[in-house]
Amino acid sequence: MSALAGWARELLRCPACHAELADAQAGTRLRCTGCGLVYPVRDGVPVLLVDEAADGD
C-alpha cells in the first residue's frame, strides 16, 4: 500500500533533480525516477532532504 495519497504523489518532486518520485521498499521510502536517490518516509511524512537521502544503487 502506498504511503502517500495519489494527489500528494503528483505534487512531490525530487529536490535534487526535480524528477517524479515512486514507491520503494513497501512504501517506507520514495525513489527518484531521475537520479535514483531514495528518500525516507517517516510516520507517513516524506523527508525530502538531499542530506537524508540514500544512494539508490
22 CB neighbour count, 10 Å cutoff: 12
Q: How far apart are the first and last CA of the chain?
A: 23
The verdict on pTM exceeding 0.85 is no
Is the distance from CB of 41 to CB of 29 less than 8 angstroms? yes
Residue range 5-34, pLDDT digits in tens: 778 778 899 999 999 998 887 778 999 999
Main-chain phi, psi angles of 25, to 5 degrees: 55, 60
Which residue ranges form the domains of the chain, and what is each CATH number?
A: 6-52 (2.20.25)
Q: What is the DSSP letter of 4?
A: S
pLDDT above 60: residue 3: no
